[in-house]
Structure 1
Amino acid sequence: MTATPQTEAYLIGSHKNEQAAAFTALYNTYHSALLSVLVKLVNDPEKAEDLLQDTFIRAWTHLHQYDPAQGRPYTWLLTITRHVAMDELRHRKVQAQAITYIGERMGEGVLLAIHDGLLNSSIFSLLPPKYRQIIELTYIHGWTQQEIAQELNVPLGTIKTRTRNALQELRHFFSQDICQYHSC
């Protein structure tokens, strides 16, 4: 479907009234062109499809920002598409830096854990066992400190102290290189 200025105005105008059929028509009109742009920008067809969905969600939620005097709906959608793609590329860059950093700090086994989705477990391995157990029960299993104290048969105050000490150790470990990624 090729959009003309009249049909574009209809699609956007109808969408402002939250008519789902108009939004479907808007999607059907532009999804192929926007998907091609995303595939070229992120070089991953599957990820591009996810990002296309993000693009249309942003368009739906920010339609009030569309100004016909600024350009056609396609141009507006293309701008949103580029922003979504740039967000993804920035995310990839930060993730690659984090993987490199963690690999340098902790070794090859941790990189395998990161790729297997076990990053939390590998980070907790930095802690002494008495702290690791409490942090895992709290943050992975969602237990309360009271539940942990009862399960381990340890006073609640001890659990609170160990939790605080564990978090301080993790903070100290990672704060050594925070300035590398953020201006301090």
Structure 2
Amino acid sequence: MIMASQSQIEANRRNACQSTGPRSAAGKKRAAKNALRHGLCASFQVTALQAKLVDKLAQQIAGASTERLVRELAREVAIATFDLARVRRVKTALIQHELALGSAAPPGPASWKHELRFCEVAVRVSTWPPLVAPDDLSETMLSVEERTAEAVRRALPELLTLDRYEARAIGQRNRALRSLLQLKAEQRYPQQE
């Protein structure tokens, strides 16, 4: 292992003093909302109804067991299951929003400058995009599958962000399930000493 020299340590300390995060009020306000963007970092139980649903699922998972540890692990599984369902609902809603919001038509020019440049090139080269006759409009209609694929493509950056939350919920659920199954197996088949 290589040790940092005294000059490196001093340089790191000077740099650390300069990197204090956002300084403006707007930057601080924006950074404060980072964890709440999707609301998926927050603890699941928000309402009494949701707490009852978690308790009901935990009861089903724990079964007839009255052991405290089994109940706690069952509750962890239930919370992670609801977190996972919540992430998947957000992902589905995002795709549905994109599907309802836009069409699958190829994107047009980004600004009027691009539009003007496109027209200038078209005039110079004497090639214009073919016009679509009213009779041919039915051929340009996209299928449901194509529109859905386009909506997913548009939502992809946000979906990739949501994958992190989904992976976390899956990991929490699987860890709690493994612990619960291991505990039940140990109870069923105690080790002989």
Settle same-fold status: TM greater than 0.5: no
TM-score (structure 1 length as normaliser): 0.31
Name whichever structure is richer in helix by fraction: 1
